[in-house]
A and B are shown apart, each in its own frame.
Chain A
Amino acid sequence: MTVNFNRQIFPGIDPEKHPAVEALRRDFASAVLDVKHSCGEVWAEVSLSEAIGALTLLRDDPVLNFDFLSDLTAVHWPKREGAEFELVYQLYSISHRHRFRVKVPLADGQNAITVCGLWQVADWLEREVYDMFGIHFEGHPDQRRILNPDGFEGHPLRKEFPLKGRVRW
């Protein structure tokens, strides 16, 4: 029986035993920066240069088969020097019904690489990350803002963006 990683409330698992971690350690050992877990969920931090290869492996490996990109977002950590941003890929496998998370650290101003070729859904999700964080995706077919208007200044989900009072009305 596979562990229901989505529902496990009390962590009691060994993150190294997760099939995705085992596969990454086996075939992409150089890409894996770190493996962490929280609340029963496991994720791997993967270096930007090898992220596409690692994600392709996760999608195409028959045992893993993460064919469904559930979500793609970013987190801003302004205090982390040289890794101010973190791209977060939430993967799900329709055939095996398991989940995994991949994180890719990025420096401020560094470009990410698109995964539109792996999952079509990434198109809008990457546009939203660009809109909210200002991260450019190399190779994205249509890099525009999506929720904010085209002439908008700044990227709202960066921590330095003020919560109120930018303009006096």
Chain B
Amino acid sequence: MARQEIMTINMGPHHPSTHGVLRVILELDGEVVVNAIPDIGYLHRGVEKLSEDRKYLQVLPLTDRLDYLASGSNNLAYILAVEKLLQIEVPRRAQYIRTAIAEITRIMSHLVWLGTHAADIGAVTMLMYTLREREDILDLIEETAGTRMMPTYFRPGGVVRDVLPDFQTKIQAFVDKFDVKINEYERLLTKNRIWMNRTKGVGVISREDAISLGLSGPGARASGVDWDIRRDEPYEVYDELDFKVPVLPEGDVYARYMVRLEEMRQSSRMLRQLIDGLPEGPFIERSPKYVYPDKERLEGSIEAMIHHFKLVVDGLTPPEGEVYSTIEAPKGEIGFYIVSDGSPMPYRLRIRPPSFVNLQSLLTMARGNMLADVVAIIGSLDIVLGEIDR
């Protein structure tokens, strides 16, 4: 009789389909996964500890480097938490610009996910197409913020500088092109027999498990959880936008693919509304205690000079208090919990990373599936190790 035993194999941390330095210890019965234990922390940089020694504005660039594929969303989540702590209002033009950047960031993040996920399963062509479209977005962000991947463009009170005059026409041109391209992606994959065989019924997670495991974002919506923070706890100008939240009941890899595709379409729809409705007006509310004064005023106004000096030397100082603020990032619910003791540096800053929490459901999804499916499941979770390890 053949000998039966569980085999333990090691996947990663240098495996191309783990999207970074994720190591998974897999226990297999033949080719069937019995246990999958993720081993994380290879990219741990101690962002939460570092933040305790940095002023509020100096923490902002650290947030870019969490989920480096969707830096704009991280910035927005952090800035919203700080604004809530400082209790400052934001001009409407700034809110529109921020929402537009957040949505275009979502498309960008989903494009990278689609390309790499498809490449993991074997459709390598997809990556070339999606990176082509992502390049347009990166160019647009570079023009607006000055940097391609790490914009650090938002500030408490607004955005750091106004958008260029052709911002609207550029976005219009992009969404016009993108709406055609996304149909092309679908033609390549959605009804592709190989794609369906690899993804349908694979990595299923039930609605109850998804909620209990804290799954958020597209992963939860593909399991029938009808929850989107943009709609249910609207921030910025989402309550004025017309968009649908795609929800599918199946909970498999294919459903997560379909939800993200529809989300990209909805983001494109929102972008059209945002550029049509972009109001005139100031792009930042310069409340003197918290926001740098206009650079041009520095030479003519002693008060502006004093405020600038105080802000650079002392940093902005929020009142004592604490805040937990979350937004819908491309990968799920990202939250910032900030405890302020009235000093210019956060007493405690906690990041609730969506990828970290979502990755925990890997075992529930992978158990009972084939070894080759683990690659598809990890891809469908859309994780970024910069955010998991922080």
Given A71-B335, A149-B41, A163-B53, A6 and B214 contact (CB-CB distance below 8 Å):
no
Number of interface residues of B (CB under 8 A): 45
B234 touches A4 (CB 8 A): yes
Given A69-B214, A147-B40, A75 and B348 contact (CB-CB distance below 8 Å):
yes
B214 touches A121 (CB 8 A): yes
Q: Is A123 an interface residue (CB 8 A)?
A: yes
- Of B41, B213, B233, B335, the residue contacting A7 (CB under 8 A) is B233
Q: In whole angstroms, what is the CA distance A17 to B341 when docked?
A: 26
- Of A39, A119, A124, A156, the residue contacting B46 (CB under 8 A) is A156
Chain A proximity of B208: nearest CB distance (Å): 9
B49 touches A9 (CB 8 A): no
A121 touches B357 (CB 8 A): yes
Residue of A whose beta carbon sits closest to that of B83: A9
- Residues from chain A with a CB closer than 8 A to the CB of B227 are 94, 97
- Residues from chain B with a CB closer than 8 A to the CB of A75 are 339, 347-348
Q: In whole angstroms, what is the CA distance A68 to B335 when docked?
A: 14
Which of B13-21, B93-101, B322-330 touches A? B322-330
Q: Is A41 an interface residue (CB 8 A)?
A: yes
- Residues from chain B with a CB closer than 8 A to the CB of A38 are 321-323
Total A-B contacts with CB atoms under 8 angstroms apart: 104
B211 touches A68 (CB 8 A): yes
A39 touches B323 (CB 8 A): yes
- Residues from chain A with a CB closer than 8 A to the CB of B214 are 68-70, 119-121
Q: Is B10 an interface residue (CB 8 A)?
A: no
Q: In whole angstroms, what is the CA distance A68 to B215 when docked?
A: 9
Q: Is A88 an interface residue (CB 8 A)?
A: yes
- Residues from chain A with a CB closer than 8 A to the CB of B348 are 75-76, 157
A-B contact pairs, 21 of them (CB 8 A): A9-B83, A39-B321, A41-B322, A41-B324, A70-B333, A70-B335, A71-B335, A75-B347, A120-B214, A121-B212, A125-B357, A147-B40, A147-B389, A147-B390, A148-B41, A156-B46, A157-B49, A157-B348, A161-B49, A163-B49, A163-B53
